[in-house]
Amino acid sequence: MARMLLSGDEAVAAAAFDAGVTLGTGYPGTPSTEILEAFSKLGGKAQWSPNEKVAMEVGLGAAYAGAAVLVTMKHVGVNVAADPLFTAAYTGVTGALVMISADDPGMASSQNEQDNRHYAVSAAVPMIEPSDSQEAYDFLIAAYDVSRRWKIPVIFRMTTRVCHSKSLVSRRQFPAPPAADFVRDIKGRVMIPAYARAAHRRLRQKLAEMAQWNETSNLTVRTAGDKSLGIITSGISYFHTCEAAPQASFLKLGMTYPLPLNAIRAFAASVDRCLVIEEGDPWMVDALLAAGIKVEGKAEPFRFGELNVDRVRRIINRDTSPEPAPARGKPPQLCMGCPYRTVFEVLRKLDCIVSGDIGCYTLGVLPPFEAMDTCVCMGASLGVGLGMRHVLPEAQARRVVSIIGDSTFVHSGISGLVEMIYNPPATGHLLIILDNGTTAMTGQQEHPGTGRTLTHDPTGKVTLEKIAQSLGVKQVQVTDPTADPAGFEQLVRDRLAGNELSVIIARKACLLAAGKIREYERRAAEQCTTCDCGDACAPRGQ
């Protein structure tokens, strides 16, 4: 096949497609979102799940049934998927499962820069890290081989630069993987303690075998150079270092867990000074030092943010002098005409204590609104708001409002609403769902509340107000805040004054998505002749 210019995300999608991956599941999150979208465009079957835990579980079920599966998420998504991941390591898989962890060192678009290499160690699953798009392609194929051979989920860790940079990729052809087929394995897949104890031992045995295999695997590349400086590295750091110290000797690792300790030990002994260049936490250097290998790491300031050629030069030169401040960019802001603006204006005017959440609307924290007081992780607005309501003096408690986007509500807000019903504060509580009909922040993906699939075709729709009502919220109001801002303000005032539990769904389509949504609805109305898809087809009659 001809060579193509692909991003790392597109290369992963192409590899998954070429390798015959049967199903891709995931939840959007920068920098991983494009993978499933590209996989779907190539003709692969891809679907958004309500959240990463569900995506992992659906993937796991498919892999138990013998299929090859791709599960995608950003780094914080792995926190959500961690519960099934850790025990999936015990059960293993029958087909093959690769989980993409797209990490965001430097936090281009995330709330933290957690280094998910730690997950490989704590979940005890192998981890593979590509450096560019060709490796994203080749290593993904290798990840499926590892997963199939050792019957284990594999973490495929990428970072923003690898996900989004474009480089040339040669694609190949592969034989089709075996068809799905259920083979009973009760002791292998039902993790009661008696079976799990044996499973843990099996897992450690697999890791020992994989470590042995990795000692000579072709995922490791050794380049002989100047003996005075040896560099151990992986991922994007490899390219920064090639430019910063082209004369050095290199040991570039592809599979970074379990580490090929003997190969590393031999490399370290072959050079005068052996330096580990890694982005994020001093994860690898700590592991190597713990194994008694004489290596040197980086100074603490380089733990923060992305590395680049200049920073790698500084690490090599042990230069910890102040770094130049990055050029100031233009701060992001809520779009002009964004329906959330009205909501934040009201919250600001009423001096609400706003327990916020993650999405475009987090920008309500910035001037001119400054109408958000907390933001932790997806879904936290409910729990954090309720916690404040429980302990604050009444006058303050009455000012507490939780706000959450529609996609985030479906992702992990519903359980917070269950908590609100179960443990209601004495002053009641108000949740405002900002329903703009899309997952705007990550590029307008569909979610269960839109009633459309990843490919924008109609499917079952989860209706937010029905969820709130069925859970027992008495005061549920759906309103377009922009249609009558004064009326919206009065509504919020009324809800804050009472002691009831209330939900206001502020519904108005994202300005940037509205045209596309109308087009999807028109297309669906044309296609849908036998209407049995409930609310998804509602616009048909309009």
**Contacting positions for ligand TPP (CB under 6 A):** 27-29, 52, 74, 76-77, 80, 358-361, 378, 405-408, 436, 438-442
Task: Choose among 286, 11, 276: nearest CA to 143.
Answer: 11
Give the nearest distance from C-beta 158 to ligand TPP in angstroms. Answer: 15
Report the DSSP pairing between strands 400-405 and 273-277.
Answer: unpaired
428: left (phi over 0), alpha (psi -120 to 50) or beta: left
In the complex with ligand TPP, the residue whose CB is nearer, 60 or 403, is: 403
Helix or strand holding residue 403 (H, E):
strand 400-405
**DSSP 8-state class, residue 267:** H
Give the nearest distance from C-beta 305 to ligand TPP in angstroms. Answer: 19
In the complex with ligand TPP, the residue whose CB is nearer, 289 or 512, is: 512
Instruction: Residue count of the chain, please give it.
Output: 542
Give the nearest distance from C-beta 362 to ligand TPP in angstroms. Answer: 8
In the complex with ligand TPP, the residue whose CB is nearer, 427 or 436, is: 436
In the complex with ligand TPP, the residue whose CB is nearer, 210 or 378, is: 378
Give the nearest distance from C-beta 403 to ligand TPP in angstroms. Answer: 10
Give the nearest distance from C-beta 448 to ligand TPP in angstroms. Answer: 11
Give the nearest distance from C-beta 427 to ligand TPP in angstroms. Answer: 26
In the complex with ligand TPP, the residue whose CB is nearer, 242 or 338, is: 338
Residue 442 in contact with residue 28, Cβ under 8 Å?
yes
Helix or strand holding residue 48 (H, E):
strand 46-48
DSSP-derived secondary structure for 305-366: S---HHHHHHHHTT--SPPPPPPP-PPP-PPTT-THHHHHHHHHHTT-EEE--SSGGGGGGS
In the complex with ligand TPP, the residue whose CB is nearer, 79 or 459, is: 79
In the complex with ligand TPP, the residue whose CB is nearer, 234 or 362, is: 362
| Total Cβ atoms within 10 A of residue 197 | 11
Question: Which structure tokens are listed for 370?
Answer: 């400054």
In the complex with ligand TPP, the residue whose CB is nearer, 53 or 389, is: 53
Between helices 193-214 and 75-91, what is the axis angle to 10°? Answer: 110
Give the nearest distance from C-beta 407 to ligand TPP in angstroms. Answer: 3
Give the nearest distance from C-beta 442 to ligand TPP in angstroms. Answer: 5
Helix or strand holding residue 113 (H, E):
none
> Residue 61 and residue 199: Cα distance in Å, rounded?
18
